[in-house]
Amino acid sequence: MRKIKLIIKREYLTRVRKKTFIISTLLFPLLYLVLIFGMGYIAKESALHLKVAVIDSSGYFSAEKISQLNLEDKSSTLTLVTTSEQKLETSYKESGFDGYIVIPAVDWRTGAGNLVFKSGKSYGNTYTEIVKNKLNRIWDKVKNDSLQIDSDKQRILADSHLSLVSKNINDERSDAKTAEGIGYACGLLIYLILLIYGSQVMMGVMEEKTNRIAEVIISSVKPFQMMLGKILGIGLVALTQFFLWIAFMLIVYNIGVASGAGGIANQMVGSMQNMFTNVNMPLILFCFGFYFLAGFFFYASLYGAIGSAVNEDMREAQSLSFPITMLVIISVALMTAAIGNPTGPIAVWASIIPFSSPIVMMARIPFGVPGTVPWWQLGLSMALLILGFIFTVWFAGKIYRTGILMYGKKPSWKEMLRWAFRKN
């Protein structure tokens, strides 16, 4: 035990003291904020203001209506023109338009099917949508006027709806939207941690092997202790980083509450308040801790085994670790499916089978326990994951013991399996 502690301490301290750790811990939340604010800013700044010429053969689009609408809705400018389409096709650019629309002679009762926005450039859906909505506002007005619907009736037509959200009657607190958000966040965080810190374990083992210090160390400790110490040490580094991020989030939250800041910060604060009231936060945090650690052990030991088996060549390590990385990525795909239908068979099984359970179960839990995830599923999933990581740690230990002193050719998965199941 004393020796494992020493190894954990070394692995932990050498990593936490590194500049890259400090920088990445600070930078990640900053980048995250920059991303959120920056995206909003860029979207706002780069919005395209389309100038559209309209040829109207239906007679509904009067210059008066259009100019009034242009005043109300400034996201694009429509201009009624009276030239022929052939003329406009050659001259719309000189006249300062981005494109033109020809409205055929249609009746207000049937509508106009697909109109075409013709232009020398391609525009995305976002922009045609803006123009479409604008045209529809006129069209609505035309219909309303023709049907003699006054503004009171209009309001009734627009506002009176039936809407539907799903509610799990077994779980009073669950709120599908918040749950979805938390589910995604938890699943993706675990995914990131597994990949980033899993490969750190692999690199760490490779470093020891190529530095040839492995033989010195295993003349003092058992290879298994050496591997376990590394995995635990790096796991602690991941936890530390994670707690720092949570602390950072709480600070932002408190500042947000205190200052009553507007805009996105306010939204964040609001959604966090939502989170705390709508979901069982202590349970989620506990499960997150569990699946984070157990999933980390599960994958990190496999990555460690691969690190021990290869030489200094990064490509060898990548090709050998590809199947493991694939498992993690498949888990994320399953997670997306599970969030779409959190009680469906894919969600249930993927959250019970050990390789995908850390990510998928974590995405399901926010939907509610025991409403969406019955206790037996949670228990079975945890038990299987514990068995799973005990198995992978044992398996990896066997490979590690042989691999760490083996230099030369990269072994195949088949050979590594032989190492694992060879007696002693």
Partner 1 sequence: MNILELKGLKKYFATQKAVDDISLSVERGQIFGLLGPNGAGKTTLIRMITGIFYPDEGQIIFDGKKFDPVNDVEHIGYMPEERGLYKKMKIGEQTMYLAQLKGLSRNDAMTRIKQWFVRFEMESWWNKKVEDLSKGMSQKLQFVTTVLHEPKLIILDEPFSGLDPVNSNLIKDEIFKLAKNGATVIFSTHRMEQVEEICDHIALVNKGAKILDGTVKQVKQDYKENLFSIGAEQLPSMNGTAPFEVVGTKRDEHIVRIKEGSKPNDVLQYLLGHDVPVISFHEILPSLNDIFIKLVEGTPAARQFQKIDA
The site for partner 1 (CB under 8 A) is made up of: 3, 6-7, 10, 14, 207-208, 211-222, 405, 424
CB of 231 to partner 1, least distance (A): 17
CB of 275 to partner 1, least distance (A): 41
Closest contact distance (angstroms) between CB of 280 and partner 1 is 43
**In the complex, what is the shortest distance from the CB of residue 23 to partner 1, in angstroms, rounded to a whole number?**
17
AA letter at 204: G
The packing angle between helices 263-278 and 176-210, to 10°, is 100
Q: Which is nearer to partner 1, 149 or 405 (CB)?
A: 405
Shortest spacing between CB 221 and partner 1, in angstroms: 6
Q: Least Å distance between CB 215 and partner 1?
A: 4
Per-residue buried b or exposed e for 264-278, using 16+ beta carbons within 10 Å of the residue's own CB? ebeebbeebeebeeb
Taking the complex as a whole, the smallest distance from the CB of residue 394 to partner 1 amounts, in Å, to 17
The tokens for 120 are 């020398």
Considering the complex, state which of residue 13 and residue 255 has its C-beta at the smaller distance from partner 1. 13
The tokens for 158 are 């627009």
Q: Scanning the structure block, which residue is given the tokens 């239906």?
A: 58
Q: What is the dihedral of CA 100, 106, 112, 117, to 10 degrees?
A: -10
> Mind spelling out the 3-state secondary structure of 17-48?
CCHHHHHHHHHHHHHHHHHHHHHHHHHHHCCC
Chain-centroid distance, C-alpha 124: 24
CA nearest neighbour of 101 among 109, 114, 411: 114
Nearest CA to 136 among 68, 80, 61? 61
Closer Cβ to partner 1, 8 or 52, answer by number: 8
Give 133 or 220: the residue with its C-beta nearer to partner 1. 220
Torsion sign over Cα 115, 117, 122, 124: negative
- Identity of the residue, 293 or 416, whose beta carbon is nearer to partner 1 in the bound complex: 416
DSSP string, 368-390: -TTTTS-HHHHHHHHHHHHHHHH
Q: Which amino acid, residue 346?
A: I
CB of 227 to partner 1, least distance (A): 14
What secondary structure letter does DSSP report for 165?
-
| Nearest residue (CB) to partner 1, 179 versus 218 | 218
Nearest to partner 1 of 120, 408 (CB atom): 408
Cis-peptide, bond into residue 345, ω within 30° of zero:
no
Shortest distance (Å) from residue 16 CB to partner 1:
14
Q: Nearer to partner 1 by C-beta: 9 or 167?
A: 9
Closer residue to partner 1, CB minimum distance, 125 or 424: 424
Closest C-alpha to 291, from 377, 382, 373, 184: 382
Q: Is the dihedral of CA 249, 250, 254, 255 positive or negative?
A: negative
